[in-house]
């Protein structure tokens, strides 16, 4: 029987910094953000745990999300903004954000929490994401924290903006994973007279059963070349996440008329130039032969 891979939180912490594209000046802040109380309880000489940073990060995330919604939805009522904000900063949403940046593997957990599946527990992941953002705000300032939050929450933020622009009287339950952002972004650009976006697969890492793909989308908007990135467990999912991040850039700029989202939940028949020769349809070339439309990449 093959033994499970050995956990290496130190290596995972370095990979986390790579994923958020930030190097801490004070590495102790990162260590504290990644330290769960259960780990500290087993080590009386430990400097501290992430609960104070969690307290700070909770407020920082709330401010970032509130600022973003306020700027992106100038006509939305207070009640609508509050509903979206509460969904974006709830435990399940922040747990998914923690997964986006690879926090789980980097956490320092006590033996009981590790054995009990603590790395997959939403409450632990959400708290750790708040602590990470608190540490980023202290080490790199508000703009550094804002960049990581907006990237990690790109898909639900984009969905909130799309819905809020057209259905202000009907605050919705966000369903970010089901929205076809490639279609939405392409229609948005075409209404503004822009060219179709171009998708590039930048990376594929991890073992075959836990493959993570990184995609980048670029598009010409007015005189600027905009780019955004996204990650996912398949090429299609990574491209969709990248499109959601680009949608946030386009709508917050206020320069693009974001029309109705009709058809955004259909198949991936967006005609976007995603570099795989299929024009964005469901017939992605499947170079690894497993039928999932993904293309294997070496680390």
Q: Which residues are known catalytic residues?
A: 58, 130
Rounded CA separation 146/142 (Å): 6
User: Crossing angle for the helix pair 51-72 and 78-88, nearest 10 degrees?
Assistant: 140
Exposure string for 177-200, b = 16+ CB within 10 A, e = fewer: eebbbbbbbbbbbeeeebebbebb
CA angle 228, 217, 85 (to 5 degrees): 45
Strand order across the beta sheet in which 224-232 lies: 198-205, 212-221, 224-232
| Of the candidates 33, 239, 37, the residue with the CA atom closest to the CA atom of residue 131 | 33
């Amino acid at each position: 029987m093959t033994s499970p891979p050995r956990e290496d939180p130190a290596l995972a912490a370095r990979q986390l910094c790579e994923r958020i594209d930030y190097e801490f000046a004070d590495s102790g802040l990162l260590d504290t953000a990644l330290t769960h109380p259960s780990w500290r309880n087993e080590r009386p000489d430990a400097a501290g745990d992430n609960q104070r940073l969690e307290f700070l990060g909770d407020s920082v995330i709330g401010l970032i999300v509130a600022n973003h919604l306020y700027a992106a939805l100038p006509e939305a009522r207070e009640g609508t903004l509050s509903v979206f904000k509460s969904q974006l900063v709830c435990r399940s949403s922040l747990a998914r954000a923690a997964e986006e940046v690879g926090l789980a593997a980097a956490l320092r957990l006590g033996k009981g929490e590790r054995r009990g599946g603590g790395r997959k527990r939403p409450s632990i992941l959400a708290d750790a994401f708040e602590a990470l953002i608190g540490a980023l705000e202290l080490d790199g300032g508000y703009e550094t924290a804002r960049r990581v939050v907006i990237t990690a929450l790109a898909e639900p933020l984009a969905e909130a903006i799309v819905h809020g622009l057209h259905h202000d009287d009907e605050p919705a339950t966000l369903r970010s994973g089901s929205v076809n952002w490639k279609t939405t972004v392409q229609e948005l650009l075409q209404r503004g007279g822009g060219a179709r976006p171009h998708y590039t697969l930048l990376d594929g890492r991890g073992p075959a059963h836990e493959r993570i793909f990184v995609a980048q989308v670029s598009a010409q908007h007015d005189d600027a070349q905009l780019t955004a990135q996204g990650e996912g467990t398949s090429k299609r999912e990574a491209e969709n996440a990248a499109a959601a991040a680009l949608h946030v850039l386009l709508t917050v700029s206020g320069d693009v008329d974001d029309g109705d989202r009709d058809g955004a939940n259909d198949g991936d028949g967006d005609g976007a130039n995603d570099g795989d020769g299929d024009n964005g349809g469901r017939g992605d070339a499947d170079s690894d032969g497993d039928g999932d439309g993904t293309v294997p990449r070496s680390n």
